[in-house]
Amino acid sequence: MRYLPLTADDRQQMLGVIGAKSIDDLFVDVPEAARIDHAFDLPPHQGELEVERALSAMAAKNVSAGTVPFFVGAGAYKHHVPATVDHLIQRSEFLTSYTPYQPEISQGTLQYLFEFQTQVALLTGMEVANASMYDGSTACSEAVQMAHRVTRRTKAVLSGNLHPHYRAVIETNSRFAGDAVVALEANVTGTEDLAAQIDGETSCVVVQYPDFFGNIQDLSAIAAAAHEQGALLIVAIPEIVSMGALRAPGEMGADIVVAEGQSIGNPLNFGGPYVGLFATRQKYVRQMPGRLAGETVDVDGRRGYVLTLSTREQHIRREKATSNICTNSGLCCLAFTIHLSLLGEQGFTRLAALNHESACKLAGDLEQVAGVDVLTQAFFNEFTIRTPKPAVEVIDALAEKGVLGGVPASRLMPGNEAVRDLIIVAATEVNTDADRAAYKAALAEVLS
């Protein structure tokens, strides 16, 4: 609880210094229609203990992810994170090292960044990766800007099955940069014709893998179509655990791969902090945003780590910077690195297999509920179902019964009537047979 020590005289003195007559003068740019001109309906002031109790009681009304069967995904996933990860990242040398502004004296930080980059490059099948970005969606937008620099074109073609939040970030940044965006309509079967949208003005094609509805597709054909027109293929992966089971985008011709790394090492927080992954081909490295840690030897031949590339606005002229968004989620990428190191290659593959197995069992269970259709034919740990009632009503009814059953597609695609009865369902290694049975029983009851 914050303590606000300023008096009315203090505030008036501050306003006088900046030349404002009243607090309202600070909000002259906010339209009148957007302002609230009345007092909030709140109880009178109370003591700190009473306020804490009141807020705790309000919070207890929420159904939290850790207390009920949980099948919500669509970009953020509930996985088990070993206690070792949190213990190690809280060592003071890691927890307090904000960012390597004096990098060469931060050898521990640079070493884990180097190892993180190596892990990301291996996962995505790419040649070089940076030291992380803010999150998956902003990394995706940065990839579009990078493609514009590489190709000297300014038109991006977005798959309709790209996560709506990723699409929104790209469209926002492109609008203010004056760049063109062509976004296709959502297609639950994943059979859109992206190649038909690519022309000589296109700098990049952006696809999600697996896509928003869970479909898994071979990206080789769309990569070839993009390259034929001189454009780049950008692949976005909101669920990085899928790379333990699926073919890496780099093997299918991707030029830039971005991902959300939250699933590894970072707990499910609704709003972050998360960690963006960014990888590309070596020939494009100088157009890559963010920072890059490298390995070298000193004059005595001893191994050391250096900040090899850092084209950020803090280091070079702003107009020359390749990124003006947060370009390293340091502690989150450390958690990613530690968790992945603990898993090892075999453990990561096993984790992916457990996810897929859990999702297959759940799809089989839900398919037995009268009126439910499983629409996604090939999926990893997430798929889409169609229900005979509006999806929002179904999800709310499930929550009343203590099951968080997924994400109604209409919540992320408002106004799209074609998706009003679609639910995107995710299952991971944390879901038990009892969880799946509870979901099946609750869904059958809701739809009866």
Domains by residue range for the chain, with CATH: 83-339 (3.40.640.10), 345-447 (3.90.1150.10)
What burial class does residue 42 get, using C-beta atoms within 10 Å of its C-beta: 0-12 exposed, 13-18 middle, 19+ buried? exposed
What 3-state DSSP class applies to 177?
A: helix
Contact (Cβ atoms closer than 8 angstroms) between residue 97 and residue 106: yes
CA angle 412, 361, 377 (to 5 degrees): 55
How many other C-beta atoms can be found within 10 angstroms of the C-beta atom of residue 32? 7
Name residues whose C-beta falls within 8 Å of residue 387's C-beta, 6 or more positions apart in sequence.
371, 372, 394, 421, 423, 443, 447
pTM value is 0.88
* Selection from 169, 144, 181 nearest residue 255 by Cα: 144
Tokens describing residue 159? 């798959």
Which stretches of 178-304 are DSSP H helices? 220-228
Q: How far is CA 61 from CA 51, 79, 135, 385, in A?
A: 16, 24, 29, 28
pLDDT at res. 312: 67
Tokens describing residue 107? 């050898």
Tokens describing residue 6? 């300023």
Separation CA 359–CA 431 (nearest Å): 9
What burial class does residue 122 get, using C-beta atoms within 10 Å of its C-beta: 0-12 exposed, 13-18 middle, 19+ buried? middle
Separation CA 222–CA 236 (nearest Å): 14
Separation CA 390–CA 348 (nearest Å): 37
* Selection from 261, 222, 317, 241 nearest residue 132 by Cα: 261
What 3-state DSSP class applies to 44?
A: coil
Separation CA 343–CA 46 (nearest Å): 49
Centroid of chain to Cα 67: 23
Which element (helix H / strand E) includes 257? strand 256-260
CA angle 126, 132, 137 (to 5 degrees): 90
Q: How far is CA 35 from CA 22, 28, 38, 437, in A?
A: 15, 10, 9, 48
What burial class does residue 308 get, using C-beta atoms within 10 Å of its C-beta: 0-12 exposed, 13-18 middle, 19+ buried? middle
* CA neighbours closer than 13 Å in the CB half-sphere of residue 265: 27
Q: What are the mean pLDDT values of the chain's consecutive 10-residue runs (448 residues total)?
A: 77 93 90 87 86 92 89 96 95 76 79 96 97 94 96 97 97 94 93 93 98 97 97 98 98 98 93 93 94 93 90 68 72 96 97 98 97 96 97 96 96 94 98 97 96
* Selection from 206, 192, 188 nearest residue 382 by Cα: 188
At 109, the amino acid letter reads T
Contact (Cβ atoms closer than 8 angstroms) between residue 379 and residue 216: yes
